[in-house]
Structure 1
Amino acid sequence: MVNNGKKGFKLYGAPWYLTLIVCLIILGTMYMGGIGTDMPSTFALMLAIGIPLNEIGKRLPIWNKYIGGGILLAFLGSSVIGTYHLIPSEYVTSIDNFTSEINFLTFYIVVLITGSVLSLERNILLRSFAGYFPAILGGFAGAILLAIVGGMFFGISPGELVTHYTLPIMGGGNGGGAIPLSEIYADITGEGSDVYYSFAIIILTVGNIFAIFAAALLNKLGQAFPKLTGDGKTLIRGTEEADIADEEYTPTLADVASGLMLGLGAYVVGLLFSSVLLPEIFGFPIHELAYMVIFVVILCGFGVVPKNVRMGAKRLQTFFTKHLTLLIMVGVGVDLDLNELLAAITFSNIIVSLFIIIGAVVGSGFVGYLVGFYPIDTAVTAGLCMANRGGSGDLAVLGAANRMDLIAYAQLSSRLGGAIILVLASVLFSILL
């Protein structure tokens, strides 16, 4: 609830009682089997789940200040709902399908990438991307170093700590990381890919949870020490004024529509390159969202997009970030199987995974600081967004860190950064196994 200072408390922009009545009607109708599994029904159900969880998370003592607030509770609460089927299973499936099969998740990312990239002054944008990949490698190096330190307590060999622990966590997720890593492992060792994958997905799951909690803690650290972080929109220190927002110009609905059109067009260009023109580089597939980021950066760099379109894209991104992030947290939360996570909770797995996450944070933040970036923002994107479960993990991490405007950098970590890890993995498997 938010006090607007005039007419009492509001919840999700409406009087609290109105929002509460709507949520109760939706949930009651769902339990009576009265809503469908189509898009509008699922959309409504996700809001009815996400709004109360978000509100509770914002008001829980300790949780709201030190753990992650409303967004993180919406994510974990939805995971509890999905894992233990607290709602009928057909609705769990419909939420999962809406997020992944209908692919609202990718649509959300497309909107955020377009708005976040086009809202920055082009020179600042190009400078930040130029220094970003050293920060990714710094995070990877830090993760390896602390993995070895953590594994020493359990007698795990350095080679195994790199290949079986660090690579899965830092590999860019499941589909773009753990699965191709298991195939590379099988090609080099001659063993079945399932031998590697069954352990990699466990470690990745543990690392993903630690990454989300670490993002929330970094957000609190930034609030306590403002000099370590920027405005959540750019990485380079002292460039907060680089946003194109102009109070003298308010984007129209036509501007918003043009920003959406440009974003979808850029996404299709990404599909064109990833599926037809240049699907692989050095034998490794490049994701369409990575190509999309590159294309939008090029458009911004050459200054060919009119200001009204850029501001329209930014306005649309702001709407999605402020009001639709709840849907994403519900969608990715439902997809997290807590039983899978509980099965992975051994003392050694927890400690080694925690050390890897700390290493990714410290390594990326340190290198980021050296190249002129804010260390906290760099640690969130170049570190933690390498150490999660890809696209959905990026959104969970950025949501917990309250830095959704940095989605373009997060996608570079998961997509291009993940591809870099695959290249390194082929070398490391050959040397260490």
Structure 2
Amino acid sequence: MRERTRLGATEHAPSSDFPSTGTARPLRHAWWRLMDIRIGIVPLPVHMVLALALIATAISGKLSAELSPIIALLAVCSFTCMEIGQRIPVFRSIGGPVILVTFLPSYLVFTHALPTSVVKPIVDFWKAGNFLYLFIPAIIVGSILSMDRKVLIDGFVRIFVPLGVGSLVAGVVGTAVGTMLGMDVFHTVFFVVIPVMSGGLGEGVIPLTLGYSEVLHQPAGELLAQALPAVMLGNVSAIVFSGVLNAIGKRYPSLTGNGQLMRSGNDGLPQAAKSTAPIDVTDIAAAGMIAVCLYFVGTLAQNTLGLPGPVLMLVLAVAAKAFFVFSPRLEQGSGVVYKFFATAVTYPLLFAIGVVITPWQKIIASFNVPTLVTIVATVATLMATAFVIGRRMNMYPIDAAIVVGTHSGMGGTGDVAILTSANRMRLMPFAQIATRIGGAITITLSLIVLAKIV
């Protein structure tokens, strides 16, 4: 099969299904070659038609928050930004596509370059659909069930070591850098270093600052405003460093598993029990329902028992994999679900995140030299320590560093952005451990220490 370079994918020479003569065949083949040029996943002619239709609809003020127009809008906007980011030298090697897809829309909203007729449907869809909580279960459950069993179990046990050591070393280094640059020790620790590793927004810095408010007897809103920039810039730093590590991995393949955390493993499933028959659409649909079911059970536990829903969902998926709950066909179907969401949904989701929950003014407000250097030093130390520890624990050091780097992200949305910049969405289950469990431990210990010193 002949292959050609194209925008965002690989062009395959079209096959002729119908015999023809004269000029019909060359014209048809030329049209098929044009159709095989992709903007992200969208064929170029389809992308152009969609873009023109969306512009016309937005100008008329009739762009709605219904599913079909929102899919079209997010796909056209996000994959256009992605293609631009992939074509900027150097920038593309440090997570440029992800940075552009996430932060350009934030800037465009801030400057009102994106009209209200475009922003409002995205905001309404995000608030009404909460689409992130379909994406994350599909990625987590799909990647866990399709993962090598022994590697999965070993990885879950071992990842806590580089995560814990990395967090301690990063805390010490970040505090030292901040104080050397003239910042107060208390502010450096509790409003820069700890928020970076608190686990994001909704389950991280917001409950952290609510705890601060109870201890310090200050308004929670004011405390959140002080801590929020550290979360934003910590996320950006992790995106950039993950992109750099991905580039290093391409140059030194021995350092990376390209989405595999442990260096070796065998899932222990007898070969005769492995499915050799091709899966069909019902297997894929069933796997999708498994992800929805596990998410629903996790949410129910969160509402009734107070347990973090995503963490319980993750534990249930690991247990199901470890104890052979689902058949090999369903596990293969889960792999297809994972690949679909990772390929087709990630960039549109990041664009929506940039529009809805990434305030440009908060990012800019944090750009003072001491804070910026402290955050970068904290994240760099966190990931460098994980690199060294992971290598000593028979992990691929680049993958271990990227997983632990999600500890400094913006929760689930940060995990998506960081892993996408490194092209390692398969590490999402381990990233959830670093983000959710690591963040919860960081918040708990921080509030205990704060209560004792105030």
Distance in 1 of aligned mates of 2:268 and 2:140:
17
Distance in 1 of aligned mates of 2:122 and 2:266:
37
2:300 counterpart residue number: 272
Distance in 2 of aligned mates of 1:185 and 1:35:
42
- Mapped pair 1:18 → 2:46: yes
- Distance change >3 Å, CA 400–CA 242, structure 1 → 2: farther
TM-superposed CA distance for 1:157, in Å, is: 4.4
Distance in 2 of aligned mates of 1:349 and 1:160:
10
1:235 aligned residue (261, 279, 284): 261
1:390 counterpart residue number: 411
Cα deviation, 1:56-99, whole Å, max 9, x if unaligned, reads 222223322x2324333222222223222322224323323433
Distance in 1 of aligned mates of 2:369 and 2:395:
35
Please tell me whether the aligned partners of residues 299 and 305 of structure 1 are also in contact (alpha carbons under 8 angstroms): yes
Equivalent residues in 2 for 1:9-408, closer than 5 Å? 9-11=36-38, 12-13=40-41, 15-64=43-92, 66-232=93-259, 234-239=260-265, 248-276=276-304, 278-279=305-306, 286-334=307-355, 335-382=357-404, 384-408=405-429
Does 37-46 or 89-98 show the bigger shift? Answer: 89-98
2:22 counterpart residue number: none
Cα deviation, 1:215-253, whole Å, max 9, x if unaligned, reads 211211211221221021x21123499999x89443210
Please tell me whether the aligned partners of residues 275 and 329 of structure 2 are also in contact (alpha carbons under 8 angstroms): no
- Distance change >3 Å, CA 20–CA 289, structure 1 → 2: same
- Distance change >3 Å, CA 99–CA 134, structure 1 → 2: farther
Please tell me whether the aligned partners of residues 148 and 266 of structure 2 are also in contact (alpha carbons under 8 angstroms): no
Please tell me whether the aligned partners of residues 110 and 267 of structure 1 are also in contact (alpha carbons under 8 angstroms): yes
Distance in 2 of aligned mates of 1:378 and 1:3:
30
Please tell me whether the aligned partners of residues 403 and 427 of structure 2 are also in contact (alpha carbons under 8 angstroms): yes
TM-superposed CA distance for 1:365, in Å, is: 2.3
Secondary structure of the residue aligned to 2:105 is: helix
Q: CA RMSD in A?
A: 2.3
Please report the TM-score for the alignment, with normalisation by the length of structure 2.
0.87
Secondary structure of the residue aligned to 1:4 is: strand
Please report the TM-score for the alignment, with normalisation by the length of structure 1.
0.91
- Distance change >3 Å, CA 72–CA 241, structure 1 → 2: farther
Tell me, which stretches of 5 or more residues in structure 1 are unaligned? Answer: 280-285
Greater radius of gyration (CA): 2
- Distance change >3 Å, CA 174–CA 71, structure 1 → 2: closer
TM-superposed CA distance for 1:49, in Å, is: 0.6
Please tell me whether the aligned partners of residues 63 and 121 of structure 2 are also in contact (alpha carbons under 8 angstroms): no
Distance in 2 of aligned mates of 1:13 and 1:418:
34
Please tell me whether the aligned partners of residues 61 and 117 of structure 2 are also in contact (alpha carbons under 8 angstroms): no
Secondary structure of the residue aligned to 1:386 is: helix
Distance in 2 of aligned mates of 1:332 and 1:217:
23
Distance in 1 of aligned mates of 2:130 and 2:42:
28
Tell me, which stretches of 5 or more residues in structure 2 are unaligned? Answer: 1-6, 15-32
Secondary structure of the residue aligned to 2:325 is: coil
2:435 counterpart residue number: 414
TM-superposed CA distance for 1:46, in Å, is: 0.7
Q: How many pairs align?
A: 423
Secondary structure of the residue aligned to 1:127 is: helix
Please tell me whether the aligned partners of residues 139 and 363 of structure 1 are also in contact (alpha carbons under 8 angstroms): yes
Please tell me whether the aligned partners of residues 301 and 309 of structure 2 are also in contact (alpha carbons under 8 angstroms): yes
Please tell me whether the aligned partners of residues 117 and 296 of structure 1 are also in contact (alpha carbons under 8 angstroms): yes
Distance in 2 of aligned mates of 1:156 and 1:340:
19
TM-superposed CA distance for 1:393, in Å, is: 1.0
Alignment identity in percent? 26
